[in-house]
Amino acid sequence: MKNMSSLGACLGVLFMLGCGGGDKPAETATPAVAPAGPAYPVDLANGKLVYDKACYACHTTGVSGAAPLTDKTRWQTQADKGMPTLIKHVTEGFTGTFGTLPAKGMCMDCQEKDLYDAIHYMMNQAGVQPKY
Ligand code: HEC
């Protein structure tokens, strides 16, 4: 007598193991948190104080490649970069196609908040809206 059932049982086990592909765990979505507004409450009066102290030297008439406040087109281009980029450039310094913005706009005793206000004041004077 030949035992034919052992082969069938073996194939059955292989088939069941082969079907055991589990579902991948669902990817955990990490939504990009886009700040909806300014990082600080904006104080334009403080911004003017900072501007008059440090930024005006270059930005009033456009010394050494700085965008004068009357140049709305350039300020629009700058505003389009968004505040996170601009505050980084002003804090660390930035060399672009027009010239070099020194770190902190040469306002060495300015806090980040002061620079933030100054950028808003300058955009306000230029007639452009900040982007966040
Ligand atoms: C020594 C001159 C100088 C001073 C002082 C100065 N800037 Fe500027 N700033 C520049 C120049 C030049 C550029 C243009 C760089 C470019 O786009 O090539 C610039 C660009 C900028 C930009 C646009 C940066 C970008 O990413 O396009 C901002 C914002 C800015 N300045 C803010 C300030 C503020 C705020 C102060 C004062 C705290 C200040 N600057 C003081 C020369 C100056």
Structure tokens at 58: 């270059």
* Mean pLDDT within 98-116: 97
Which residue among 52, 59, 110 has the greatest number of ligand 1 atoms within 8 angstroms of its CB, and so is best to mutate?
A: 59
Instruction: In whole angstroms, give the CA distance from residue 126 to residue 132.
Output: 17
27-59 in b/e burial notation, b at 16+ Cβ within 10 A?
eeeeeeeeeeeeeeebbeebbbebbebbbbebb
Say if residue 128's pLDDT is above 60. yes
* Mean pLDDT within 62-70: 96
pLDDT number for residue 26: 59
Closest ligand 1 atom number to CA of residue 85: 26
Closest ligand 1 atom number to CA of residue 54: 37
**Cβ neighbours of residue 63 closer than 8 Å, sequence gap 6 or more:** 57
pLDDT number for residue 89: 98
Whether 126 lines ligand 1, by a CB cut-off of 6 Å, is no
pLDDT number for residue 29: 62
* Mean pLDDT within 89-108: 98
**Cβ neighbours of residue 94 closer than 8 Å, sequence gap 6 or more:** 100, 101
Which residue's C-alpha comes closest to atom 11 of ligand 1?
66
Interval between CA 32 and ligand 1 midpoint (Å): 29
Whether 118 lines ligand 1, by a CB cut-off of 6 Å, is yes
- For the entire predicted model, the pTM comes to 0.80
Say if residue 88's pLDDT is above 90. yes
Residue appearing with tokens 């009357």? 70
pLDDT number for residue 37: 85
**Cβ neighbours of residue 19 closer than 8 Å, sequence gap 6 or more:** none
pLDDT number for residue 10: 46
- Angstrom CA distances, 14 to 9, 11, 33, stand at 9, 5, 48
What the chain holds in terms of domains, given with CATH numbers, is 44-126 (1.10.760.10)
